[in-house]
Structure 1
Amino acid sequence: MTAAPTRARDTAPAPAVEATGGGTPRRFSLDLVLRARELGIVLALAALVAVTAISNPRFLSGQSIRDILLGTAILAVLAVGQAVVVITRNIDLSVGSVLGLSAFAVGTLLQNNPGLPVVLALLIGAAIGGVFGAVNGVLVRYGNVPALVVTLGTLYVVRGITYFWAGGQQINADELPQGFLDFGNDTLLGVPYLVLIAVLVLVVTGLVLRNYRVGRELYAMGSSPQAATLAGISVGRRTIGAFGVSGALAGLAGVLFAARFGTIDAAAGTGIELNVVAAVVVGGVAVFGGSGSVWGAALGALLLTTIGSSLAVLEINQFWQQAIVGGLILLAIGADRLVAARVAASLKKRGSHVS
C-alpha cells in the first residue's frame, strides 16, 4: 500500500513515496507556489506602504508604525493558532469569542487582585482559551461534527457566556493595575512587548511544525486523514491538540487585547474571526488542509492590518476594507485550487509515463 502524496512543503514524505519518487514533484511545485505567495505578500506590502507614504508621509511616522505593529501582534497570535487548525483540514470560528471571554475574565481577575503578575495573567488567559479549544476538538473528533458547525456554535455559546457575565458592564482602564496597562505600552529596545510575544509565538510554533514529529503529523492529517490513520497517527489526539493550541492562543490574544486597550466589554473581539481566517488563507495556508506555514499567516495578518491603516490615511471608506479582504480570500482559494489541479494533473501524467 502506497501512502497518499502529501501537499505540505513542511511535511516529511512517507518512505513509500520516497522510494518511488512520486511525492517529489508535488511537494516541489507547492513549495515554489507557497514561497511565491509569501513573496507576493511582501511585494504587495511594499507597494501599499509606498503609495500611502507618498500620499501622506505621516504614514511612516513612529507612532503610525507602532500602531500597525501592535494591531498586527494580536491578529498574528490568533492567525498562528488558526493556521495550526486549518493545516489539519479544519477551521475555528470561535477565536473571537474566546478572545472576548479571556479578556473580560482576566480583566475581572485583575480588578479584584491588582498585584497579580502579568505573566500569570497571560498564562490564565491562555488556559481559559485552551479549555474551550479542547472542547471544540473533542466535539469535532468524537462527535463527528464538521468543525465549521461546531465552532460556529461555540462562537455564540462563548459570546453568550461573556454577555451574561458582564451584565452590560464594562471594565475601564482606571480599574486595572497600572503595571498591566504599562505592559501593553512598554517596549524592549524600542520593540513593544506585545510584538515580542507575537514573534515568540510565531517562532516556536513555526519550528515545531517544521522540525518535530507532531508538526509532520498535523500536515499528514490535513493531506489525507484516512492515510494518516492508516499510518498510525493518533488523529483524535492531534485534532484536540490543534484546537487546544488555537484556543490557548486566542486566550493569550485576549490578555494582549486587554493590556493594549484597557477598556473591555462583552463585545471585545466581535467579528475578528473573519480577519483571522482571511489572514491565514491569504498567507498561503490552504483551506483544504495539508499545506502552508504560520510565517505566511503572520504576513497575511500584517498585510490586512496595513490595509486597514492605509485606507484610514488615504481617507477611503472603511467599508472597502471588507470588500478587499473578501476579494483576497477568493483569489487565495482560487489559486490553491488551480495549483492543486495542476499538480494532480502533473502527477497523473507522470504516473502514466512510469507505467
Structure 2
Amino acid sequence: MLKRISTSREAILLYAIVLLLALIASRFPGFIAPANLLAVLNDTSPLIILALGQMVVILTRCIDLSVAANLALTGMVVAMINTAMPGLPIVVIITIAVGLGALMGAINGILVWKLDIPPIVVTLGTMTIFRGVIFLISDGKWINAHEMSDSFTAFPRGMFLGVQGLTWFAIIVVILFVILISRTALGRAFFAVGGNPHAAVYTGINVGKTQFAAFVISGALAGLTGYLWVARYAVAYVDIAGGFELEVVAACVIGGISIAGGIGSVGGALLGALFLGVIKNALPVVNISPFWQLAISGAAIIFAVAFNARANRVKGRVILKSAEHATS
C-alpha cells in the first residue's frame, strides 16, 4: 500500500514540485519565502479553477478548448456591465459571470450531445466564435482600470486570514470538486462514461447528458474565472488569456488525467496546475523568457501522454501475465 502511494502520479508530481522549489531556492532563497509562495499560489489560482473544470470534461472522453475564449468573453461582458452600472453588487456580477459561462458551456455540450460533433471540432469552433463576439461587442477597444469601479477590482484582491480572495475562490472550488467527484452520483458518472461508455449505458447512465453536464461545469468555472481575471488585472480586451487553454489541458494531462477518459483525480489536476504555476513564476527568476512557457507546456503534454501510454502498456502486460499464470 505504502509503495503504491509513493509511486502514484500525485506523489511523483509532489516530489517534482518540491525538487523544483529546492533547485530554485538554492540560487534564489527568497523564492520559497511564505509570502512569495502565497503569491505563486494566487497567480496559479485561475489555472487551478479552469483545470478542475477541464478535468471533468476530459474524464468523459471530451475536451474543451474554448475555456480561455469563454473566460475572455465573460470578462469583457462583466467589465462592460460594471462601467455602465458601477453600483451593481458584486454578487450579481459573479452570478452573471457564472451564468454566462455556463451558457457557453451548454452550447458546447448541446452540439456534442445532440449533433454528435467531435468535441475538439465543436470547441475549436466556439473558441473562434467567442473571440469574435468579444470584438463585436467591444469594437476592439480595451476597458482599463480607471473605467472599473473600486468594488469590482477590489473583491478578488481582498485579504482574508492573510490570503487573497482569488486564492480563496480556488480553495473553495477544490473542496467542492472533492465532494462532487467522491460523494455524488454525477461524479461517479463522469468516470463511468469515460471508462466504458457502452457499459455506462447498461447501468442507466445517459452518456450525452453526463458529457453535457461536464461542459456546463467547465463553462461555469470559465465564466467565474473571467470575472476574477479581469478584476484582478483591471483590464479587459479581445486577446485576454490567449493560448491559456493549452496550459489548462497541460495541467490536466501532467496531473494524470487520461485523454482517453475515465482516469484522473482532483489532487492530480491541482498538482498539475501547481507544477506549471511554479515553472511560470520561476522562469523570470532564472532569467528565462516567460514566452518559453507555451513551449514547456506543449512539451509537458507530449511527455505526460507518452508516460501514461507507457504505464498503460506495462499494466496491460502485467494483466496478461497474470491471466497466463491463472490458466496454466
Q: Please indicate the TM-score interval, normalised by the length of the shorter structure.
A: over 0.9
Match of 1:169 in 2: 141
Match of 1:60 in 2: 32
Match of 2:100 in 1: 128
Q: Does 1:326 align with 2:298?
A: yes
SS at match of 1:249: helix
Q: 1:216 aligns with which of 162, 169, 188?
A: 188
Residues 84 and 294 in structure 1, CA contact (< 8 A), matched pair in contact too: no
Residue type at the aligned position of 1:144: D
Match of 2:76 in 1: 104
Distance 1:112 1:141 in 2: 37
Match of 1:296 in 2: 268
- Superposed CA deviations along residues 148-189 of structure 1, whole A, max 9, x for unmatched, are 111011100111111111112111111111112111211110
Distance 2:109 2:195 in 1: 18
Q: 2:174 aligns with which of 170, 188, 202?
A: 202
- Long gaps (5+) in structure 2: none
SS at match of 2:117: coil
Residues 74 and 101 in structure 2, CA contact (< 8 A), matched pair in contact too: yes
Deviation at 1:48, TM superposition (A): 1.6
Deviation at 1:63, TM superposition (A): 5.5
SS at match of 2:108: helix
Percent of aligned pairs with the same residue? Answer: 37
Residue type at the aligned position of 1:327: A
TM-score (norm 1): 0.87
Residues 246 and 297 in structure 2, CA contact (< 8 A), matched pair in contact too: no
SS at match of 1:153: helix
Residues 45 and 303 in structure 1, CA contact (< 8 A), matched pair in contact too: yes
TM-score (norm 2): 0.94
- RMSD between aligned residues: 1.9
Distance 1:283 1:305 in 2: 13
Q: Does 1:38 align with 2:10?
A: yes
Residues 129 and 252 in structure 1, CA contact (< 8 A), matched pair in contact too: yes
Residues 48 and 310 in structure 1, CA contact (< 8 A), matched pair in contact too: no
Residue type at the aligned position of 1:345: R
Q: Does 1:193 align with 2:169?
A: no
- Long gaps (5+) in structure 1: 1-27
Distance 1:283 1:198 in 2: 17
- Superposed CA deviations along residues 88-126 of structure 1, whole A, max 9, x for unmatched, are 111000000000001000111111111222222112111
Distance 2:6 2:137 in 1: 43
Q: Does 1:87 align with 2:59?
A: yes
Match of 2:211 in 1: 239
Distance 2:52 2:193 in 1: 18
Match of 2:198 in 1: 226
Distance 1:212 1:136 in 2: 23
Deviation at 1:352, TM superposition (A): 4.4
Residues 194 and 256 in structure 1, CA contact (< 8 A), matched pair in contact too: yes
Match of 2:233 in 1: 261
Residue type at the aligned position of 1:236: G
SS at match of 2:289: coil
SS at match of 2:140: coil
